[in-house]
Amino acid sequence: MKRGPAARIVLAIVFAALVISPLIIKQYASRRNEAKARLDVQTALARHGFYLQEVSHAAGVNFVHQGPTLDPRLDHIMPQVASMGASVSIVDFDRDGWPDIYVTNSKEGAKNALYHNMNDGTFEDVAEEMGIADVNRPGTGVSMSAVWGDYDNDGYEDLLLIKWGKPELFHNDAGHGFTRVTDQVGLPPWVNANTALWFDYDGDGLLDFFIGGYYNENVDLWHLSSTKMMPDSFEYAKNGGRKYLFHNLGNGKFEEVSAKVGIDSRRWALASAAADLRGTGHPDLFVANDYGVSELYFNDGHSFHDVGEQTGVGFAPKSGMNASFGDILNQGRYAVYVSNISEAGVLIQGNNLWMPKEGAGGDKLKFENLARDFGVEIGGWSFGAQFGDLNNDGTLDLYLTNGYVSLDHQRSYWYDFSKIAGGHSLIINDAKNWPAMEGRSLSGYQTKHVWLNDGSGKFVDVAQAVGVTDTYDGRAVALVDLWNRGVLDVVVANQRGPLLIYKNTVTPDNQWIEFDLEGTKSNRSAIGAQVTMFWNAQHQVQEVSGGSGFAAQNQRRLHFGLGKNPRVEKAVIRWPSGKTQTIDNPAPGQIHTIKEPS
Amino acid sequence: MSQPPVVSVAVPPAPQQAAWKRFLGPENRYLAPAFITCILLAGHLSFGILESYQKTGLAIVAALLTELALGRAFSGKWPNLASAYITGISVGILVRSPAFWPYVLCAVVSIMSKYVLRIKGRHIWNPSNFGISALLFLAPETVASLSIQWGNYLLPMVVIWCLGSVIIWRVRRFHITATYVICFVALAFLRSHITGSPWQSEIAPLTGPMYQLFIFFMITDPKTTVRSTFWQCVVVAVVAVVEMILRLSQVVYAPFYALFMVGPAAMLIEMWFSTRRTASKPVTA
C-alpha cells in the first residue's frame, strides 16, 4: 500500500521536527543555565545554604604556581606537555590542631610552600625553614604532588613528594623541621609520577605507599633521548610509567612489592584513591588513567587483583584525571568519581560517576556510570574533584575544577589536537609529529562546577551562584575546615595560576560534626579508618584518606553535615586494625578527637 | 553508509563459481553488512571500541524499525534491511555520546532522510552521512564522532585496509576509495606545506578507524554516487578538495561535511544533465 502526498508531507514535518530537536533541547538547557547567575551572599545562603568567598590574599597566601620548561624539542607543544604540577595537600604538620596547606611548584628552582595556619585567619609560609621548599633543583626534576602520612607512627605526618624526577620522602621531626630520608628508603632514582597515596594495604599498622607513573620512568623530560615519549594511543596507551607499591617494614625501611602483589601496569596513571569498597577491612585501590581505562584492584590484604573490567569501571577507555569516593546517597556505599574530557563539538567523553549496583556487593561488586542521571557528567576538561558536604545539609556535594591550557582566548588548538589524537601509534607516539600550539588555548578559561546534592540522586551546578567564578586552569582540589568552624572550605591549586582559598559560609541552621581520629594499633594517621554516622534514620560512611582527587589530599579529619535539628544516634568507627568502636549520641557542633582504644 | 555497495550492480550469478567467490561476489548484498559487523566485533572484542553494547544496539534497532515502518508504508512491501543495518551499525560506531538519545535520533533521521530528501525518486544524501553531519552540527555539546585509534597495533589496521580493499574491489568500487585516498594523501602534503604542520599529523586521520568506515562505506554508497566511473572519481576528488578547504579552516569533522555538501550537488548535476539529454533526444515513432 503506497502512501500519497499527504503522508509524505506528514513525514517531512516529522523529519524536520526531529532534525531541529537538538536545537530545542539546547535552547531549553541554556535557559536553565541562565538561572545559575551569580547571587549575593544572603541570597546564596537562603537558596543553597552556603557561599564561597575567595580569601587567599586576605589570608596572606600569594602563591602562584609556575610550570616547568622541558627539553627544547618539546617547545612546540610545551604548554600541554608541561601542564601539570599544581597540587595541594592538607596537613597539621605541627599538631597544633589547625590545618596547614602544602602546595607544590613545578618550575626548575622554584620553591614549594608550606602555609602554617596562624589561627587568626592568616597563613605563613614556613617551608623554607622546615626544609621542604627547595625541592625543585635542576637535575632532580620538579614537583607534581605531595601526600602526608605518619609512616613511623611518631604522631607527626611525614611527607611523600612525587615529581617528574626523583621522588622524595621527608621525615617530620616533631613539627620542628623535616629530614630527607629518601636514600634510606630506597626510592627509585627517577619516576615521572602524578599520583601517590598512603594506605596500610596489609593492615599491619604501618603505612605503605603507592606511586603511579605517568611518563615512562626512563624518560628524562629535560634531556630527551628520543621524542618518541608520547602515549602510543589516545585511549589504549600502555607505554606509560610503571607503578610502585612500597611496603613499610618498620624502622624506616620499605620494600618495593608491586610486582609481588599483582600491580603491574604501564597505563598512564593520573589519579589514585584507596577505600574499603567491599567491607573486607582492606583498602581497595582505584587508579584513574589518562589515555585508557581505569583500573580497580581488589585487595585481600596480601595481594591485589585487577577487576576493572569485571566491575565495569575498566571497560570504556577515556582520559581519567581524578579518583574520589563519596557515599552520595547515604547508603553506606561509595560512589567513585572519575573526571574526563568534554569539549563541545570535538570530544564528549563525559565524567564517570561509578555507582555500586544494587545487590552486587563483596567480590561481585559492580558499578554503573550514572553521571548523566545524577547531573555531574559534563565538566569541560575536568581535573580534580572532591566530595564533601559544603552546606552541611547531610548529603555530600561535589566540587570540580577544570581547564587545560588557557592561552590565546580566540584561538583553539583543538582541531590540531583531534587530528593527531586519531593517528596511529607510530604517529601519535612521536612528539615531533604533533602540530605546534603557537599560543593557542586547549579547553582554556573554563568555568568551574560546584554540584549540590539534593539527596535523591540529582546534583545541581551552583558554582556561579555561590561565588566560584574563577576560570584558571584548575588542577587539585582539597576540602578542609581551615578555621575549625564546622564547615568545609575549598583550596584549589591552579596550573600557572594562583592558589585559591574559598572560605565557606554556611547557614547556621545546618549542623555538623567532625571526627579527628588517631590510631594506636592501627596506623597513627588512622588512614583507612571508616566512620559511619547514624542520624535521622539515615547513615553516611566516610573514610580517612591518604590522598584522593587529582594531586590532592583532603584534611584527615572527617566532616559530616547533619542538616537542621538532627537526631544523632551514633557514630561507628571501624579502625584499620579491624576493631569497631561505637560512640552513642555524639554531640553535634563539635570536633571529636578520638584515639583508637587499646 | 546506507547501502551495501553491491545493490546497484546487476551481475548474474555464475553457476560454477566457488563458494568464496560467490560470497565475495557483487551479487552478495550481505557482504558489506558482514564486513562492517566483523570490523565492529573485532574492534570491540580486542579494544572495546564501543561506548556500550546498548547504545550500538539501540542505533541498529532504531534504524531497522524505521526502515521497516517507512519501507512498508511508502513502498507497500517489506524492505530489505541490509542497508538499514549498515546505517545503524555505522551510527553505533561513529557517534560518540554519553547520552542514549543521539543514537536513536541519528539512526532515525538517517533512515528518514532516504524517504524525505528525494528528487526524482532518488535520495541524494548518504543516509548516515546526513544523520551524523546533522547531529554533529546541531548538537556539538552532546555528540562527537569516533576520532581515535582502535588499539595500538598496526596489524588490525592493515587487515581492515586489505579486507576492505578486496571487498570494495570485488564490488567494483575500488576506484572510488583509491581516488579518495590518493587525493587525501596528496592534499595532506599540500596542507602541511601551507600550515607548517608536520606531514605526519596531516596524514594521521587517515590511519584512524573513522576514515576506514568513511572510505569503505560512506563515499562508495552506490545509491548516492553518480553513475559513471570517471565522474565517480571526479566527485570523490572534489570531496577531498572541499575537505581540505574545511580542514584549513580547522573544521574537525571536515570529511563528513565535505561529503554532505559535494555528494548531493553531484547527484543534482547528474540529474540535470540526464534530464537535458533526455529532453534533447528526438522523439521516435
Q: Complex ipTM, two decimals?
A: 0.84
3-class DSSP state of B114:
helix
d(CA A525, CA A554): 13
The answer to whether A435 and B248 have CB atoms below 8 angstroms apart is no
Q: Tens digit of pLDDT for each residue in A3-48?
A: 678 888 999 999 999 999 998 887 877 666 555 677 888 999 999 9
pLDDT tens digits, A125-177: 999 999 999 999 999 999 999 999 999 999 999 999 999 999 999 999 999 99
- Given this model, what pLDDT does residue B17 score? 62
Backbone dihedral angles phi then psi of residue A65, each to the nearest 5 degrees: -70, 140
Confidence label for B5 from pLDDT (cuts 50, 70 and 90): very low
Does B43 have pLDDT greater than 80? no
Do B204 and A350 lie within an 8 Å CB cutoff?
no
CB atoms B207 and A427 under 8 Å? yes
B262: part of which helix (H) or strand (E)? helix B254-280
- Reading the block at residue B37, the C-alpha cell is 559487523
Q: Quote the pLDDT of residue B99.
A: 86
Cell numbers given for A186: 630506597
> Which pLDDT tens digit goes with each residue over A69-100?
999 999 999 999 999 999 999 999 999 999 99
**Phi-psi region for residue A565, left (φ > 0), alpha (ψ -120 to 50) or beta?**
left
Q: What is the pLDDT of residue B6?
A: 41
CA nearest neighbour of B216 among B133, B148, B152, B157: B157
Cβ contact B149–A434 (<8 Å):
no
Give the pLDDT score at A423. Answer: 85
Torsion of CA B252, A425, A245, A212, to 10 degrees: -30
Cell of A553: 589530599
Q: What is the mean pLDDT of chain A?
A: 95
Residues of A in contact with B247 (CB under 8 A): 415
CA dist B66 → A6, B7, B59, B84, B106 (Å): 19, 20, 11, 8, 11
Average pLDDT over residues A258-277: 97
Q: What is the pLDDT of residue B132?
A: 95
Taking CA atoms, A357 is separated from A43, A221, A329, A365, in Å, by 38, 42, 13, 7
Q: What are B209's three cell numbers?
A: 578507524
pLDDT digits (tens, 9 = 90+) for A375-391: 999 999 999 999 999 99
pLDDT at residue B93 in the model: 85
pLDDT at position A591: 98
Query: Hey, which of A8-17, A585-594, B121-130, B213-222 has the most confident mean pLDDT?
Result: A585-594
CA A166 – CA A89 distance, rounded (Å): 19
Contact, A445 vs A403, CB < 8 A? yes
Distance CA A248, CA A254 (A): 5
Tell me: pLDDT of B152 over 90. no
Question: Which three cell numbers mark B26?
Answer: 557483487
Percent of chain A with pLDDT over 70: 98
The residue among A494, A550, A552 whose CA lies nearest residue A64 is: A494
Q: What is the mean pLDDT of residues A247-265?
A: 97
User: Contacts by B271-276 with C-beta closer than 8 Å and gap 24+?
Assistant: B271/B119, B271/B120, B271/B122
Query: In the numeric block, which cell numbers belong to residue B280?
Result: 534533447
Q: List the single residue in A18, A315, A412 with the smallest CB-CB distance to B105.
A: A18
Give the pLDDT confidence score for residue B11 in this predicted structure: 46
pTM over 0.80: yes
CB contact under 8 A, B109 and A19: yes
As given in the structure block, the three cell numbers for residue A416 are: 590540531
pLDDT at A593 over 60: yes
Residue B28: per-residue pLDDT: 65
Mean pLDDT of all residues belonging to chain B: 85
Q: CA of A65 to nearest chain B CA: how many angstroms apart?
A: 31
Share of chain A above pLDDT 90, in %: 90
Tell me if A11 and B116 make a contact (CB, 8 A cut-off): yes
Is the pLDDT assigned to residue A210 strictly greater than 90? yes
- Is residue A353 scored above 90 in pLDDT? yes
Q: Which residues of B touch A75 (CB under 8 A)?
A: none
| pLDDT digits 0-9 by tens, A395-447 | 999 999 999 999 999 999 999 999 998 888 889 999 999 999 999 999 999 99
pLDDT at B125 (0 to 100): 94
- Highest mean pLDDT, choosing among A67-76, A454-463, B12-21: A67-76
Strand A440-441 with A408-412, pairing:
parallel
A245-283 residues labelled b (16+ CB within 10 A) or e (exposed): bbbbeeeeebeebbeebbbebbbbbbbbbbbbbbeebbb
pLDDT in tens, A314-336: 988 899 999 999 999 999 999 99
Average pLDDT over residues A338-352: 93
Answer positive or negative: Cα dihedral of A25, A26, A29, A31. Answer: negative
**Minimal C-alpha gap between B193 and chain A (Å):** 13
Residue B24 in contact with partner chain A when CB distance is under 8 A: no
Nine-digit cell string for A182: 629518601
User: In the prediction, which pLDDT does A65 show?
Assistant: 98
A542-570 residue pLDDT tens: 999 999 999 999 999 999 999 999 999 99
pLDDT tens for residues B154-207? 777 787 788 888 888 888 899 999 999 999 999 999 999 999 999 999 999 988
- A498: DSSP letter: B
Rounded mean pLDDT, A261-284: 97
pLDDT in the model for residue B48: 66
pLDDT tens digit sequence for A217-231: 999 999 999 999 999
CA atoms of A470 and A464, how far apart (whole Å): 9
Q: Which pLDDT score is estimated for A354? A: 97
| Helices B101-116, B82-94: inter-axial angle, 10-degree rounding | 140
